[in-house]
Structure 1
């Protein structure tokens, strides 16, 4: 049977299924408790057991001492309820509360999503996990100290690997390496999580606007929302130049079929001769938005992509009634250095 966990001081409650840890259940219910390794080795998820019984699971003595356990502590990444519980821990409900860390990782896999977009999966050391909010980004640190920022494109609910979408930049030293010379198990160093682009706790319908690899962080946001059972409405507008620049369309179509609160609209700003059979929208995405909405009062806007697109679409959303304080964006720039 499932047990109910009440979190203090927030008063939030969530259900924990048999065989599920408190931390895992909390994450799947949109409650962001702190954690580090998720395997009982670091102690970052340690909190107080106010009432109830748990199976403490397997953990290292360095993560929690017997004295701490006797005083009511538990590692929520390992502890499984054996009754209804009241626990005490703080939530990471703001990107500023997440610990920024510098970590090594290995390239696990790379696959082309389009002619000029590569998805790279990164694996952290076995005793490490990165806690982040869907929509945040990391900075890859090059050997000479230069940095390249990439949004995390997968949900933190499944953080065994971190995936990033990297667009090829002609003459770009780093992207040239990624597309031409990348090797499996290559070691990268990065810092993160960074940024304050994440889904706010709200019931407002959300308009999401992605340009190019701006789909990455918005994919992570949507993927997390669907797993958490968020019921607010989402409408994604995905703007690219030509049809060959669209990617993950099968996944977006699948989500549209599976989730009644989601739909997506692609648009081509510069169709090629190969796009003669295109029947969808054409034009810049900020010109497409008013074709679907005349009044967006009471909505929120989330925008990710090239700065000109983000700026233009933000202005359009404000003209359609979205309050400027309800607009959240992540504008990308590309370096050729």
Structure 2
């Protein structure tokens, strides 16, 4: 049976079926609330239940603790209604009119950009366009019914080829195929664009952008879009990897630095060798060291979940309100794979 779902503070009301999640109901009715992985792992969709009861599903303790559940918090991508509900969550208008499509695509080009990273370029049918916001992702649809999410690394105005950065994951079924068997002219199917990880254009605050590994992909799209728009918002971009050879697109990074005085780049290596002379350690520590007071920024964070969670918490401790922290945690195996 359907229940009544009310979103505050907007006051929007809609039906929510007993067998669908709060997120599914909101998206079905055209209302966008924060989300990313859609499988209860990244915590992007966390919000508050003001009244009513839900089934929280099988949620990992580290993502939603028992104390948070008792305090009325839920992961809206997992919570299903057991009664009429009133929830508190900020809605996102920018993605409202963007159509989610299921399309075929041809593999146009494959490039090895780092020892365990491939850039995959997909061409969609000439009769189609994929409207998206820089930073969103697509789900590759697998023949067994599974799906794997990858962030779009290109900009919407440069959509002749959709660019994905794919990291080889030990034991990964799809990434194993990409690195061992995929070839140019292969056909894949995908659904997208998805997610609410994109630059909030209405803000004029300086930007703190942080990535680990292939978390660089959506930030690349965001940065290129900002540069194309002529934005002069100060940008501090931090990129952390394990080994120095894991950095890629070095020529592009140098070009950004030479052309844009408001762009500041810091690269960090956690397991350096004698060839690396730059900052070492973990990117979270470097960011907080450089910005012990982070209250003035808009922060965009993407990469391994441990980094995303730890940096989000550290920035909050450094004075940055949660409404100015936007994150996309790359979740392995279930849905999103870096």
Task: State TM-score, norm by structure 2.
Answer: 0.70
Task: Report the equivalent of 2:255.
Answer: 254
1:121–1:161: 8 Å Cα contact kept in structure 2?
yes
Task: Report the equivalent of 2:173.
Answer: 173
CA offset digits 1:306-333 (Å, max 9, x no partner): 1001011112222222111100001001
Question: Structure 1 CA distance, aligned partners of 2:126 and 2:259?
Answer: 34
Task: Report the equivalent of 2:205.
Answer: 204
Task: Report the equivalent of 2:309.
Answer: 311
Question: Structure 1 CA distance, aligned partners of 2:334 and 2:250?
Answer: 29
Q: How well do the aligned residues superpose, as a CA RMSD in angstroms?
A: 1.5
Question: What is the DSSP-based 3-state SS (H/G/I as helix, E as strand, rest coil) of the residue aligned with 1:225?
Answer: helix
CA offset digits 1:1-46 (Å, max 9, x no partner): xxxxxxxxxxxxxxxxxxxxxxxxxxxxxxxxxxxxxxxxxxxxxx
Using CA pairs under 8 Å that are at least 6 residues apart, name the structure with larger relative contact order, 1 or 2.
Answer: 2
Task: State TM-score, norm by structure 1.
Answer: 0.70
Question: Structure 2 CA distance, aligned partners of 1:171 and 1:297?
Answer: 41
- The count of residues paired between Structure 1 and Structure 2 equals 243
The answer to whether 1:332 aligns with 2:330 is: yes
Of the candidates 277, 281, 284, which is equivalent to residue 282 of structure 2? Answer: 284
1:169–1:335: 8 Å Cα contact kept in structure 2?
no
1:172–1:336: 8 Å Cα contact kept in structure 2?
no
CA offset digits 1:262-293 (Å, max 9, x no partner): 0110101122xxx2132211111111112322
Question: Structure 2 CA distance, aligned partners of 1:156 and 1:310?
Answer: 25
1:138–1:149: 8 Å Cα contact kept in structure 2?
yes
- Unpaired runs of 5+ residues, structure 1, are 1-91
Larger radius of gyration: 1
Map 1:197-276; keep pairs closer than 5 Å: 197-201=197-201, 202-271=203-272, 275-276=273-274
Q: Hey, which bits of structure 1, 4+ residues long, moved more than 6 A?
A: none
Question: What is the DSSP-based 3-state SS (H/G/I as helix, E as strand, rest coil) of the residue aligned with 2:170?
Answer: coil
- Unpaired runs of 5+ residues, structure 2, are 1-91
Task: Report the equivalent of 2:157.
Answer: 157
Question: What is the DSSP-based 3-state SS (H/G/I as helix, E as strand, rest coil) of the residue aligned with 2:107?
Answer: strand
Map 1:23-172; keep pairs closer than 5 Å: 94-172=94-172
Question: Structure 2 CA distance, aligned partners of 1:322 and 1:300?
Answer: 8
1:96–1:196: 8 Å Cα contact kept in structure 2?
no
CA offset digits 1:169-226 (Å, max 9, x no partner): 1121211111111111111000000000000021100100001010000000000000
